[in-house]
């Protein structure tokens, strides 16, 4: 039943597209022979249908209507037009054909055969339009894949395979765009203004638009994959809960809101901090507001001027600076011990051995920050190993549990 419905819809769509071709055959053939299609030959409704069917397209808002390369190739095949019929539609062949057409244009101009030169320029315009149309169609098929195959797969492996498939197609399109060498085209067109406008100005804008579209596709791919990982984590949590309920059919969740001791796995919510603001628009509360202001503690610590910059600093600021200096000094002592040791030294072991008063996370962060601040040559001599593990069974973000440093002496491997 599903196949019959799909076939019927496909036949109906095909009949509509063929009817469009037949109904506007004369105007479309004029567009095939000439450079552009006359938009006045169509009604507004017919024009929208032709563009939706990818029979006509507009490269940008400043260009006229063009026949899509698929329709142009179809007409060339049916008419046995060998000048415009292509067996291979790759970018390299199209660029080679463009080079030959430009050379033919220069030769015709040199001989004074302006009719042949005009025909060469017309064919050159059509080839450039076809090249841009192929890139636009490929990018459009990528967006359709993101909204169909990529969006409706059931497992992470299928999602990764679809992502790799889309990334390979993007790589092929980028490789094709890299074949367009504008320095070569500038030298090829020489001083011909019409060719320079076609092959340099317009083509560069269109190629830049294709690069922008491909970059947006890559961003969308990463967003979809990250969203799918989040959904999969939630799905694993639900499946785990269902498996637990199947094993314990009589399980009844307790009323945790009425318990004084809440299990750690449930007690995850952060405390609510109610928002408050002074109601300055209520004159009746001005006395209470003044009383609250009078009860505010006064700042009794004098400001101390530092010798270096001449700015004012409080004793609290000096205490914080002293603690930071102490932390840096103890990290330097750890690095000196690493240099004196033969093997790798654990930062947490040093922290335990010296019984330092810092939090373990602050200590590891400072050790890592000092290592990243070293010059590249010294970083190579002090090899850093990170001991990492996932945050939880459902969260694959890697957390640093410990850091190991080993001094690499000249001529001695790690």
The residues, ordered by sequence, that sit 6+ positions from 139 with a Cβ below 8 Å of its Cβ are 173, 210, 213, 214, 217
C-alpha closest to that of 218 among 184, 183, 177, 168: 168
CA triplet 410, 411, 414: central angle to 5 degrees? 85
CA distances from 145 to 131, 150, 227, 403 (A): 22, 6, 17, 43
80 and 129 co-located in one domain: no
Residue 87 has a pLDDT of 44
Asked if the structure places residue 353 within a domain, the reply is yes
Same-domain check for residues 124 and 190: yes
245/165 Cα distance (integer angstroms): 39
Tell me if 264 is assigned to some domain: no
Provide the residue range defining the domain that includes 377. 323-407
What domain count does the chain have? 3
Over the stretch 236-278, which tens digit does the pLDDT of each residue have? Answer: 888 888 898 899 888 887 776 777 777 776 666 777 777 777 7
Higher-confidence residue of 209 and 230: namely 209
315 part of a folded domain:
no
User: Does 390 map to a domain?
Assistant: yes
Does residue 266 sit within a domain? no
Structure tokens at 163: 């992502």
Of 200, 217, 235, which residue constitutes the final position of a domain? 235
Helix, strand or coil, per DSSP, at residue 305: strand
- In angstroms, the CA 69 to CA 90 distance is 13
Block residue for tokens 């200590």: 363
pLDDT digits (tens, 9 = 90+) for 155-180: 767 777 777 788 888 888 888 888 88
Please indicate, yes or no, whether residues 108 and 36 belong to a single structural domain of this protein.
no
Instruction: Of 166, 167, 86, give the one whose Cα is nearest residue 134.
Output: 86
Same domain, 231 and 92: yes
Looking at the domain assignment, is residue 8 inside a domain? no
127 and 210 co-located in one domain: yes
pLDDT at residue number 403: 86
23 occurs within a structural domain: yes
């Amino acid at each position: 039943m599903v196949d019959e419905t799909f076939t019927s819809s496909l036949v109906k769509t095909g009949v509509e597209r063929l009817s469009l071709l037949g109904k506007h055959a004369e105007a479309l053939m004029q567009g095939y022979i000439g450079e552009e299609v006359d938009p006045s030959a169509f009604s507004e409704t017919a024009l929208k249908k032709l563009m939706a069917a990818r029979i006509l397209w507009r490269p940008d808002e400043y260009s006229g209507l063009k026949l899509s390369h698929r329709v142009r190739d179809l007409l060339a095949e049916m008419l046995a037009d060998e000048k415009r019929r292509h067996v291979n539609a790759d970018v390299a062949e199209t660029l080679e054909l463009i080079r030959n057409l430009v050379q033919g244009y220069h030769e015709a101009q040199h001989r004074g055969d302006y009719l042949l030169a005009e025909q060469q320029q017309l064919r050159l315009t059509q080839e450039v339009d076809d090249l841009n149309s192929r890139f636009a169609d490929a990018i459009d098929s990528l967006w359709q894949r993101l909204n169909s195959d990529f969006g409706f797969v059931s497992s992470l492996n299928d999602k990764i395979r679809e992502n790799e498939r889309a990334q390979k197609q993007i790589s092929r399109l980028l490789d094709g765009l890299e074949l367009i060498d504008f320095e070569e085209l500038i030298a090829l067109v020489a001083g011909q203004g019409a060719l320079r406008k076609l092959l340099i100005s317009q083509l560069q804008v269109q190629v830049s638009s294709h690069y922008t579209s491909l970059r947006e596709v890559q961003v969308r791919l990463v967003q979809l994959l990250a969203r799918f990982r989040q959904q999969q984590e939630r799905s694993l949590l639900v499946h785990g809960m269902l498996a637990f309920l199947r094993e314990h059919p009589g399980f009844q969740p307790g009323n945790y809101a009425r318990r004084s001791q809440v299990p750690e796995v449930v007690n995850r919510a952060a405390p609510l901090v109610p928002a408050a603001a002074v109601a300055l628009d209520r004159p009746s509360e001005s006395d209470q507001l003044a009383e609250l202001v009078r009860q505010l503690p006064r700042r009794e610590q004098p400001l101390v001027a530092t010798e270096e910059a001449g700015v004012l600093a409080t004793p609290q600021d000096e205490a914080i600076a002293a603690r930071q200096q102490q932390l840096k000094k103890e990290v330097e002592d750890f690095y000196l011990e690493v240099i004196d040791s033969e093997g790798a030294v654990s930062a947490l072991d040093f922290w335990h051995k010296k019984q330092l008063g810092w939090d373990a996370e602050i200590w590891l962060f400072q050790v890592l920050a000092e290592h990243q601040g070293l010059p590249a040559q010294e970083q190579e001599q002090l090899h850093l190993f990170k001991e990492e593990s996932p945050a939880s069974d459902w969260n694959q973000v890697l957390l640093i549990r410990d850091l190991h440093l080993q001094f690499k002496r000249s001529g001695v491997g790690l």
